[in-house]
C-alpha cells in the first residue's frame, strides 16, 4: 500500500487475495489478430471465477484505489472534460480505459470545427490529454472527432476545473458555441462541365465524370447533370451559362486548367462572369484549382489530378462549400501548411 498525494491510497493486491475488492481501473485483454478491448470495467467486484481470467492476461496483482480529497479518477476526469467540450452535432461515449470519445451525432457527413489554440492550451496543463482531428476535417456519421483522457490513474480536480473554466470562457466569447462541434454538410445538386476536344470527340473516355461523382456522392451530394464541350472559350462560356440557368447549387468545370495554349477554361470561367477568389492553391496535388463565384453560385475549375489522386485541393474546399462557408482568399493561402500530400 502506498499513499500518493492528498490522501489518495493505491493498494497493490495479489489477485488471489482480491476477491470482493473493486478494481481501480479498466483492464484490457489483447488477443493478437483477434481482439483488443475491455475485459473488466473500473469498479468491477472481483469474484473467484475472475481469477483465472486475470492470470490469463498477465495480472498477478491488481490496483485498488482510495481517492484522497481533491482527486478525480481518470474516468470521472475524462467524462467531465468531454462534457464541457461537447458541442453542436456531437455525442459522448461512456468512459473506457480512462478515455471518453466525442463523436458526430449527425445522420449526414459533417465538417469538424475545432479551435486549435484552445486544444494546445488544454494540453499544456499536464497529466490530461485532448486529441482531435484537424479543423475542417470531414466526419462521417458516428465518426470520432476527439477524445479526452487522463494520463495517470487519477488527477487533481483543480486541473479539470481549469479545463472547464477555459471552455466556459471560450463559449462566452463566441456566443455560446463550443470549441469543438460538427456542422452538417448540405446535400446539393451540382452541374458538371467537362471540357476537352479529345473527350468531346470521343477519342478518349471521360475519366473526370466518374471521379467527380465518386467524391461528390461520398459527401452526400449529387452531380445532377454533366455536359461536354471542346476547347473553345465561347462554347465553354455558353455551357456555364446553361448550367447556371438550371439553378444548380454549384458548377464544376473539369479539364483545360493548365498553362498550355489549348487550355481555355480559366479565361472562359472569368468571361462567364465569375468573380475569381483564386486561380491556383498552395497545395499539392491540386495547385491548379480555380475557385470563384458567379451570381453567388460557387464555381470551381478542377485540375487533372482530381481524376487519379485520392486527396487534392478539391477534397479540402468542397466540404467547406457544402458546410455553407464562403471561400475567401485567406482560406486558400492557409492551405499550404500541411498541404503536401504525396507529391
Residue 202, phi-psi category: left (phi > 0), alpha (psi -120 to 50), beta (remainder): left
Looking at the predicted structure, is the pLDDT value of residue 3 above 80?
no
Q: Which residue has the higher pLDDT, 298 or 200?
A: 298
**Which residues 6+ apart lie within 8 Å of 67 measured at CB?**
7, 8, 73, 154
pLDDT of residue 128: 96
82-91, 222-231, 263-272: which has the minimum mean pLDDT? 263-272
Looking at the predicted structure, is the pLDDT value of residue 25 above 80?
no
pLDDT of residue 160: 98
Give the residue among 286, 324, 301 at the shortest CA–CA distance from 251.
301
pLDDT of residue 134: 96
Looking at the predicted structure, is the pLDDT value of residue 262 above 70?
no
Helix/strand/coil for 241:
helix
What pLDDT band is residue 24 in, cutting at 50, 70 and 90?
confident
**Which residues 6+ apart lie within 8 Å of 271 measured at CB?**
233, 237
What pLDDT band is residue 255 in, cutting at 50, 70 and 90?
confident
What pLDDT band is residue 5 in, cutting at 50, 70 and 90?
low
The set of cell numbers assigned to 99 is 478515455
Q: List own/partner pairs for 256-261 with CB under 8 A and 24 or more apart.
A: 256/195, 256/196, 256/231, 256/301, 257/288, 257/289, 257/290, 257/301, 257/302, 257/303, 257/304, 258/288, 258/303, 258/304
The set of cell numbers assigned to 42 is 473500473
Q: Which residue has the higher pLDDT, 4 or 64?
A: 64
* Per-residue DSSP letter, 172: H
Looking at the predicted structure, is the pLDDT value of residue 320 above 60?
yes
**Which residues 6+ apart lie within 8 Å of 239 measured at CB?**
193, 227, 229
- The mean per-residue pLDDT over the stretch 305-333 comes to 97
pLDDT of residue 19: 87
Give the residue among 22, 61, 29, 75 at the shortest CA–CA distance from 44.
22
Using CA atoms, how far apart are residues 183 and 90, in angstroms rounded to an integer? 10
pLDDT of residue 7: 59
- In whole angstroms, how far apart are CA 184 and each of 198, 288, 291? 38, 28, 22
Q: Report the share of the chain in percent with pLDDT over 70.
A: 94
- The mean per-residue pLDDT over the stretch 212-236 comes to 96
| Ordered domains of the chain (ranges, CATH) | 2-66 (3.90.105.10), 71-184 (3.90.1150), 189-336 (3.40.980.10)
The set of cell numbers assigned to 222 is 449529387
What pLDDT band is residue 271 in, cutting at 50, 70 and 90?
very high
42-51, 92-101, 104-113, 321-330: which has the minimum mean pLDDT? 42-51
Looking at the predicted structure, is the pLDDT value of residue 238 above 90?
yes
pLDDT of residue 144: 98
pLDDT digits 0-9 by tens, 41-57: 877 788 999 899 989 88
Contact status, residue 88 vs residue 176, Cβ threshold 8 Å:
no
User: Phi first, then psi: what are they for 71, rounded to 5°?
Assistant: -115, 150
Look up cell 472562359; give the residue.
268
Q: Report the share of the chain in percent with pLDDT over 90.
A: 70
The set of cell numbers assigned to 191 is 452541374
CA angle 118, 101, 95 (to 5 degrees): 115
Contact status, residue 332 vs residue 277, Cβ threshold 8 Å:
yes
Amino acid at each position: 500500500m502506498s499513499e500518493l498525494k492528498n490522501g489518495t491510497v493505491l493498494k497493490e493486491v495479489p489477485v488471489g487475495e482480491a476477491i470482493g475488492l473493486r478494481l481501480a481501473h479498466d483492464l484490457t485483454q489483447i488477443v493478437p489478430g483477434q481482439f483488443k478491448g475491455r475485459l473488466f470495467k473500473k469498479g468491477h467486484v472481483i469474484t473467484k471465477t475472475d481469477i483465472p481470467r486475470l492470470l490469463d492476461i498477465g495480472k498477478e496483482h491488481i490496483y485498488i484505489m482510495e481517492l484522497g480529497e481533491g482527486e478525480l479518477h481518470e474516468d470521472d476526469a475524462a467524462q467531465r472534460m468531454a462534457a464541457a467540450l461537447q458541442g453542436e452535432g456531437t455525442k459522448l461515449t461512456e468512459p473506457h480505459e480512462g478515455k471518453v470519445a466525442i463523436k458526430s451525432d449527425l445522420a449526414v457527413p459533417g465538417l469538424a470545427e475545432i479551435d486549435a489554440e484552445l486544444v494546445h492550451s488544454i494540453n499544456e496543463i499536464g497529466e490530461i490529454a485532448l486529441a482531435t482531428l484537424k479543423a475542417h476535417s470531414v466526419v462521417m456519421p458516428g465518426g470520432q472527432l476527439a477524445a479526452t483522457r487522463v494520463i495517470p490513474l487519477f488527477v487533481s480536480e483543480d486541473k479539470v476545473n481549469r479545463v472547464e473554466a477555459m471552455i466556459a470562457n471560450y463559449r462566452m466569447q463566441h456566443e455560446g458555441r463550443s470549441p469543438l462541434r460538427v456542422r452538417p454538410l448540405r446535400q446539393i445538386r451540382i452541374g458538371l462541365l467537362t471540357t476537352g476536344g479529345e473527350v468531346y470527340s470521343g477519342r478518349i473516355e471521360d475519366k473526370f465524370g466518374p471521379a467527380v461523382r465518386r467524391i461528390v456522392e461520398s459527401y452526400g451530394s449529387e452531380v445532377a447533370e454533366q455536359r461536354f464541350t471542346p476547347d473553345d472559350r465561347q462554347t465553354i462560356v455558353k455551357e456555364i451559362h446553361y448550367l447556371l440557368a438550371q439553378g444548380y447549387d454549384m458548377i464544376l468545370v473539369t479539364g483545360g486548367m493548365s498553362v498550355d495554349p489549348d487550355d481555355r477554361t480559366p479565361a472562359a470561367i472569368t468571361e462567364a462572369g465569375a468573380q475569381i477568389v483564386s486561380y491556383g492553391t498552395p497545395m499539392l496535388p491540386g495547385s491548379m484549382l480555380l475557385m470563384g463565384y458567379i451570381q453567388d453560385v460557387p464555381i470551381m475549375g478542377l485540375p487533372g489530378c482530381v481524376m487519379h489522386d485520392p486527396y487534392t485541393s478539391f477534397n479540402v474546399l468542397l466540404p467547406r462549400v457544402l458546410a455553407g462557408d464562403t471561400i475567401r482568399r485567406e482560406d486558400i493561402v492557409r492551405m499550404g501548411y500541411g498541404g503536401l500530400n504525396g507529391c
